[in-house]
Structure 1
C-alpha cells in the first residue's frame, strides 16, 4: 500500500509546508483539497484552511500545484474535490485539472440527505454520474464517490447501486473507515466484496460516539460523534487492514485525521507510524498458516 494525507486535515500549513513536512515524515503522496472556502480568523479544517487550493481560478494554479508536489518527491493519491455531481461545468474543470496534473482520480460529491426525496435524488445523481463517467473517460482519469454520512451514498450497498454498470476504470468508490462509524457501516468483507472492482480508494480516520449532558424529553441520553485519533476511535484498524489484504487491495490509503488533541506535525507523524505498524502486523499474521486461517475465517 501507499500512504498519503488529505490536506483538509492539515489546515495550519501552507501547501509548500504541507508537502515538505509530509515528505520528510516519509509519506508517499498527498491529496490536495480543492474548493472555494470561507475565510476564518484562525486556520480550520473547513474554513481558512491554508493547505486548500481555490476552485475559482484553479487552472492558474496547476503549474504551482504540480511543482510543489513534484519538488517534495510526493505522488498524487488523488484530488480532493468538492464539486457536486450535478454541477457539470465545475466537475468538467476538476476532471480536466486532474488529467493535467497527472493525478489518477478526483472525488465528486453526492447530494446530501434532506435536500429532496431520496429516490428522486438518487435517480438524478445516477444520471449525472453517467455523464461524469463519460467525461472521465474522455480525460483518462477516474471519478470517485465517497461513502459519506448524511449523503445518499453513506454505505457500500448504496454506493454500489449508484455505480453498478458503469466502467470501473473511470468511476469508483472511496471506502472511508471513519465516516462509517457515523452512518453506513457494513461488515468490511461483505462491503469490499460487494464493491469489487469499484473499490478504488481508501480514506482512513476514526470517530467515537460519546454521551452528552443533553437529555431528551423522556430523559434518555443524547449521544454525539467526535473525531478521534486513530488510537482512540472506534475503528478496529487491524480488522480493517486485514480485510483489505484479504480482498487483495494494495492501492492508496489516504489519512484525514480531524482530531485536535495532538499537535498537527506530531499527529501526522504518529498516524504514519500507526498505519505502517498495522500493515506490518497484518502481513505477519497472513504469513503464518494459523494467521491466514484466522484472517480468512
Structure 2
C-alpha cells in the first residue's frame, strides 16, 4: 500500500458547504475524496456536505467533476438513510433502486471509480428469507456499475456476522461487486457483554483480521476511523481508540489490498483531525516523518 490510496469523506467536514469541504480536503493534502451522494443529513457534529447525484442535471455533474479534478480518485457514498433496498413495500423498494442506480451513473459522470451502499434488514423477514433477493439485487446493481465503469461496494453492517457478510459478497460473484470494510461497524460483531472490555477489544481486532482474509480480493474499499473503548463509540480519529491499526494495515498489505484508505471521521475539530489522520495513515503505509500539508 502507499499514501496515494489515502482519501477522506466529505462527512469529515460537517457544517461546511460542499465547495468548502472540497477546498478543505484539497488543502489538507488528500489524494482522494469520497462524496456523500445525498444532502440534508447530519451526524453528531452537524450538517453534512454532499450532493444528490441521482437527479443531478448533466450540467451540474460536469461542473462538479471540474471541482473534483484536483483529486487523483473520486468515490461516492450512495444514499442509505431513509431508503430501503430490501422492503416488502414495492414503492419504497423501487425508489431506493432508482436512487442507487442513479448514484452509480452520476458517480461515473464525475469520473468516479466506486460507490458505497448498504444492505438492510427486510422488516419481519429473516436473513435466510431475503438472501436470494439480496444476491440477485446486488448482481443487477453491479451490472449497472460495470456498464459505467464503477465498482459497487457493500458496506459492513448487514449481514451482521463476519462470516455471513463475506459469504454474501462472494456469492454475488460479480467482478464489479465487492466489499467496503467500515472498520467501526465491525465493532458491532462483538457481543454486548464484551463491549468496552479487554476481551471485547481482542475479539474486535480478531474479527477485523478474519473479515479481511475472508474477503481477500473482494475487498474493494475501506472506511477508516477508530472506536473509543469506554463507550464503544466509532468514527473517532484513527490511532486514538482500541483498533489495532498496525495489525490491520499489516493484514491489508498481506492480502494485497490496493483500494482507497478513506477517513470517515466525526470529530469536533475538523481540520486538525483531518491533518492528524492523514499523517497517521501515511506513516502506517510507509512514509514516516513527512511534514503535514500546508
Per the shorter chain, which TM-score range?
A: 0.7 to 0.9
Are the structure 2 counterparts of residues 226 and 133 from structure 1 closer, same or farther at C-alpha, using a change threshold of 3 Å?
closer
- Determine the C-alpha separation between the residues in 2 that align with 1:249 and 1:96: 25
Residue matched to 1:198: 218
Residue matched to 2:77: 80
- Determine the C-alpha separation between the residues in 1 that align with 2:44 and 2:51: 13
Are the structure 2 counterparts of residues 277 and 115 from structure 1 closer, same or farther at C-alpha, using a change threshold of 3 Å?
farther
Query: Is structure 2 residue 168 aligned with structure 1 residue 162?
Result: yes
Q: TM-score with structure 1 length normalisation?
A: 0.77
| 1:75-129: CA deviation from partner (whole Å, max 9, x where unpaired) | 3341111255453222221121122122111112201476632222333222211
Q: TM-score with structure 2 length normalisation?
A: 0.78
Residue matched to 2:276: 270
Query: Is structure 2 residue 244 aligned with structure 1 residue 244?
Result: no
Which SS does the other structure have where 1:172 is aligned? strand
Residue 27 (structure 1) aligned to one of 30, 53, 59: 30
Deviates more, 1:168-177 or 1:152-161: 152-161
Are the structure 2 counterparts of residues 85 and 137 from structure 1 closer, same or farther at C-alpha, using a change threshold of 3 Å?
farther
Alignment of 1:46-195 (within 5 A): 48-49=47-48, 51-55=49-53, 57-60=55-58, 61-70=60-69, 73-83=70-80, 84-86=84-86, 87-112=96-121, 116-148=125-157, 152-183=158-189, 185=204, 186-195=206-215
- Determine the C-alpha separation between the residues in 2 that align with 1:27 and 1:253: 10
Is the Cα–Cα contact under 8 Å of residues 145 and 151 in structure 2 kept in the other structure?
yes
More strand by share: 1
- Determine the C-alpha separation between the residues in 1 that align with 2:184 and 2:133: 27
Residue matched to 2:199: none
Residue matched to 1:295: none
Is the Cα–Cα contact under 8 Å of residues 130 and 166 in structure 1 kept in the other structure?
yes
Which SS does the other structure have where 1:32 is aligned? strand
Is the Cα–Cα contact under 8 Å of residues 166 and 215 in structure 2 kept in the other structure?
yes
- Determine the C-alpha separation between the residues in 2 that align with 1:274 and 1:163: 30
- Determine the C-alpha separation between the residues in 2 that align with 1:138 and 1:192: 27
Please say which structure displays the higher CA radius of gyration.
Answer: 1
Q: CA RMSD in A?
A: 2.6
Is the Cα–Cα contact under 8 Å of residues 133 and 167 in structure 1 kept in the other structure?
no
Are the structure 2 counterparts of residues 230 and 246 from structure 1 closer, same or farther at C-alpha, using a change threshold of 3 Å?
same
Are the structure 2 counterparts of residues 80 and 244 from structure 1 closer, same or farther at C-alpha, using a change threshold of 3 Å?
same
Greater relative CO (CA pairs within 8 A, separation 6+): 2
- Determine the C-alpha separation between the residues in 1 that align with 2:267 and 2:164: 27
Residue matched to 1:15: 18
**Unpaired segments ≥5 residues, structure 2:** 87-95, 191-203, 289-294
The number of aligned residues is 258
- Determine the C-alpha separation between the residues in 2 that align with 1:3 and 1:256: 11
| 1:49-96: CA deviation from partner (whole Å, max 9, x where unpaired) | 2x21135632353123211111xx113341111255453222221121
Quote how far apart the aligned CAs of 1:47 are.
Answer: 6.4
